[in-house]
Amino acid sequence: MTEPEPAGETIEARLRRALGPRSIVLVGLMGAGKSTVGRRLANRLGMIFKDADNEIEAAAGLTIPDIFAIYGEPSFREGEERVISRLIREGPMVLATGGGAFMRDSTRARISEGGLSVWLKADLDVLMRRVRKRGNRPLLQTENPEETMRQLMEARHPVYGGADVMVLSRDVSHDRVVQDVMEALDSHLNGPARQGIAAQ
């Protein structure tokens, strides 16, 4: 017989209990808000936040643009998978991953083994407005960054669609997107009926 849920349990407590040792892994294109939303989500849930790109740079002693330039993308992806595997083993945490991480079969398998994947999906104009604020995106160092981003969306969206949960990253406050992520996870982990009870 399962224990009854505590009366008046908060969504934060309910998610922590349902997650157990698993991490929340944010996936999606650059500019989707994985790091910003991830940091605030971790804060709401009282969990550690890690950014895979920052951890890769710390492990390599190089910036990601430098790793791409010196070693190439295939070598970067191998290192990325090792770092993500290590972080997930350390869990539970909220982990923001680079845009290409989820494209690699073996990295997706690692994420699935120890975490729940959340795809932050954003429209092209939203992504471009955000990425133009930062010039350190190796994959956008092209003559037509917007066309490059469109091609990335076409290639990656079908794969991101395999994530456990999808949440729209819109031009609203970061806290609103965080709430959307928590509600989507709550529905995924505890069933829509649970959300209905919580909303009453």
Q: Which residues are annotated as a binding site for ATP?
A: 31-36, 137
Asked if residues 52 and 101 have their Cβ atoms less than 8 Å apart, the reply is: yes
Q: What is the DSSP string of 158-187?
A: HHHTTSSEEEE--SS-HHHHHHHHHHHHHH
Q: Which residues are annotated as a binding site for substrate?
A: 53, 77, 99, 156
Q: What is the DSSP string of 33-79?
A: -HHHHHHHHHHHHT-EEEEHHHHHHHHHTS-HHHHHHHH-HHHHHHH
Q: Which residues are annotated as a binding site?
A: 31-36, 53, 77, 99, 137, 156
Q: Which residues are annotated as a binding site for Mg(2+)?
A: 35
* 157 half-sphere exposure, CB direction, 13 A CA radius: 13
Residue type, 132: R
Q: Report the run of H or E that residue 24 belongs to, with start and end.
A: strand 23-27
